[in-house]
A and B are shown apart, each in its own frame.
Chain A
Amino acid sequence: MLEVVKPGLETSIQDYPGRIGYWAQGFPPSGPMDSWSFRLANLLVGNDAGDAGLECQFVGPSLRFPRDTVIACCGADMKPTVEGAPIPMWESVAVKAGATLALSFAAAGARTYIAVAGGITTPPWLGSRSTFHKAGVGGMEGHALKAGQVVPTGAGKGKPGRRVRPEARPAIATDKRWIIEVVAGPNDDWIDEAGHKRFLETDWKLSAKSDRTGFRLEGPDWSFTAKATDKAPENGSEPSNIIDQGYPFGAINLAGQTPIILVNDGPSMGGFINPYTVPSAAFWKLAQAKPAERLRFKAVSLDEAQALRHRINTLCNDASII
C-alpha cells in the first residue's frame, strides 16, 4: 500500500488500455494518456505492462510507503526524490519501509507515471481501475488522489536497478514544439483545400482550457466545402455541425471554429465534424505537451499510423529493459 502525503495536481489511478468495450454506452476508455511511458514504468518494476499505476500531471505527489517496495518513474522528469535524495527516472528503485517518494514539477513534458511493484489494486469498475472523475468512477473513490488516502497495492516481485534503454524511451521535446501525426478523416471532405493547408501549416497553441477530456487548440479559422454549408437542416446551422455521430478516440473535433482533440476521457458522440484523427501512436506527445506550447500537425497515411503504433507496442516489451 501507499499513503498519499501530498496529492499533487490531479494525480489519478490509471491502467492500460483502460475501460474498453463501453463506448456504445458512452463510457470513455480513460487510462494513461502517455501509455508508452506508463507501460515501461510497469515493466521496470516487474508488473504486467497494463497494471494500474499513477498518472501525475504538471505537479507530482508525495507518497509514503509503509513497507519495503520497488517503484519506477517514467515520462516527464519531475525530479523525484526518496527521503530527499534524488532518484533516477526510467529506472526501478528500492524504497525502504516508511520512506517518502516526492515528485516536484515537470520542467519539460507534462505527465509522469509512477509504477509500484505489484500494481495498485483498488477495485476494478467495468473491468478497469482507471479513474473517470467526471462520472466519479474507477480509481480511488472515483476521483483524483486526496491527501491522507491509503491506496492498496499488490504483492510485487520487482528488482531495483533495472533501466529502460535510452533508445526505447519517448523523446520528450524540450523546445516546447511538437509534431503530431494525424490521419485525415472521418469528415475531411467538409474542409476545403485552403482549410486543410492552413491546418497543416499552422503552429497551433495548446489552450490552458485543456484536460483529459479534450485538448483545445488556438489558431486560425477554418474554411469549408459545400458539404458543410449546403446541407439538410437536421445537421444544424453552423458549418461544423453534422447529424450526431460516433467520435473516434483522438478525433480533432471542430466545435464552431475551435478544434478540440478528444482524448482519453472524451465524449463518445456528438454533432460536430472530425476532419482529422490523432492516431494512438501520437497520444504520448499530447500527454507531454503543456498549455501554451505549439503543436504542428503532420498528415500520415493509415498504414504509417499503424506502423508507428506497432513500433511503440514492440518497444513496450521486456527487451527494452536492461
Chain B
Amino acid sequence: MIYPQPKFLPGGDRFVLIEFGNEMNLELNFMAQGLASAIRESGTRGIVETAPCFASLLVHYDPDILSFGDLQREMSALIRALGPSDDIVLDSRLFYLPTLYRDPWTRECVEDYCAKIVKKEPDPEFVARINGLADVDQLVRVHSGTEYWVASLGFWPGLPFMMALDPRSVITAPKYNPPRTWTPQGTIGMGGASTAIYPVATPGGYQIFARTPVPIWDTAKRFPVFEDSIVLFRAGDRVKFVPVTLEEYRATEAQVAAGTYVYNVVEYQKFAVRNYKAWLDTFDHGKRF
C-alpha cells in the first residue's frame, strides 16, 4: 500500500528513512525521487545527502545543525508542497546500451554455479518458463521491449536497480539461493521485478541472461560521459537495452578498449509522471510483445 502519510523511521543519530509505502511500484519511487529533488532545490541546511530506493528515501543529516524534530517538520512541508505524484517532473536522461542476450559468458557463469554450488535450470529458460513466455526468444523481445527506470543505485557503487516502465515487459524472478560467488562485469540480470547491470565482477543473486560491453563506471574517466561522475547512471535515468549480435558486441568491445566508443545518451528529456500515467491508459497491459 501507499501510506496516507509517509513514515519517518530513525536510523541512529544521523539518518532517517522516509518510507512512502510497503510495495514495489513506480509510484512510490517517483515520490522518493520527487522528494530528493525538492530537498536539493530547497537547500535545507543540515541535510548532508539523500539516497532514494524503491519505496523510500534515506536522508543523512547533521544533528548539530538540524534536529530530528525540525527535520521531520521541514520534510513534511516539502512532501505537502510536492502535491500529488502526477505533478512530479524529473530530469531524465535516456541511455541506449548494446546488449548481447544469451551471451556465452553468463551461460558459462551459470554452468560454473551448477557444477560447483547447486544444479539449477539455465537462467534464460527458467525466467521464460515461470513468466509464461513461449521461449527464450520471447524473453529477449519482452525484456528489451521497454525503457527501464533507474529507481536507485547501490549494493555496489554504480549498480543501477531498474524497473520496466512498460507494463507489458514486467517480468519477475526469484533470487539465487545460495548466491553466486562471481558474475562477469557488464552482466544484465533480474531478481524480484528489478533489472540490474553489474558494474564490475562481483558476487550476485539475480537471474542472468545478457551482457553489455559498455562500462557503467570508470575510475579512470576514459570517456567524457564520466567527466562529472565516475558512475554512469543516477536515479531517474532511463535505460534501453538494444539487442546486438556477437559480432556487434565484439566491435563495441574493441571501441571501448581503444577509447573511441561514443556513449548513446539522450539528454533533452524530462519525465512527467502525468504523461506517463496518461500513456498507461491507452493500451492493454496484459498483451506481451
Contact = CB atoms under 8 A, between A and B. Distances in A.
Contacts of B63: 306, 309
B192 interface: yes
B49 A185 contact: no
Nearest to B60: A23
B159 to A, nearest CB: 6
Contacts of B64: 310, 313
Interface size class of B (residues with CB under 8 A): 35 or more
Interface in A253-292: 267-270, 274, 277-281
Interface in B119-143: none
B54 interface: yes
B155 A24 contact: no
Interface stretch (A38-46, A57-65, A198-206, A243-251): A243-251
A245 B13 contact: no
Contacts of A313: 64
B193 interface: yes
Interface string A12-27: 0000000011111111
B17 A245 contact: yes
Interface stretch (A69-77, A145-153, A217-225, A228-236): A228-236
Contacts of B157: 22, 25-27, 135
A269 B154 contact: yes
Contacts of B11: 183, 185-186, 247-248, 250-251, 274, 277
Interface string A33-59: 000000000000000000000000000
Given A20-B49, A246-B57, A270 B154 contact: yes
Contact of A234 (B10, B23, B56, B234): B23
B52 interface: yes
B68 to A, nearest CB: 6
B22 A24 contact: no
Contact of A23 (B51, B159, B192, B234): B51
Contact of B154 (A246, A278, A302): A246
Contact of B219 (A137, A243, A280): A137
B15 A248 contact: yes
A268 B29 CA distance: 17
B56 A249 contact: no
Interface string B46-64: 0011111111111010011
B153 interface: yes
Contact of B156 (A26, A125, A243, A250): A26
Contact of B52 (A24, A186, A231, A247): A24
Mostly helix, strand, loop or mixed at chain A's interface?
mixed
A278 B56 CA distance: 21
A137 to B, nearest CB: 6
A39 to B, nearest CB: 15
A306 B13 contact: yes
A277 B234 CA distance: 27
Interface string B242-280: 000000000000000000000000000000000000000
A187 interface: yes
B158 interface: yes
A187 B9 contact: yes
Given A231-B22, A269-B154, A186 B51 contact: no
Nearest to B15: A248
A247 B16 CA distance: 10
B194 interface: yes
Contacts of B231: 25-26
B12 A246 contact: no
Interface centre among B13, B24, B36, B50 (most CB of A within 10 A): B13
Contact of A267 (B49, B56, B155): B155
Interface pairs A-B: 3 shortest CB-CB: A246-B58, A248-B11, A269-B154
13 contacts: A22-B49, A24-B36, A25-B234, A26-B153, A186-B17, A246-B56, A248-B17, A269-B152, A269-B161, A270-B154, A280-B13, A302-B13, A306-B13
Interface of B: 9-17, 19, 22-24, 36, 48-58, 60, 63-64, 68, 152-159, 161, 174-175, 192-194, 200, 219, 229-231, 234-235
Given A20-B49, A244-B53, A280-B14, 5 more contacts: A25-B229, A183-B11, A247-B58, A277-B10, A310-B64
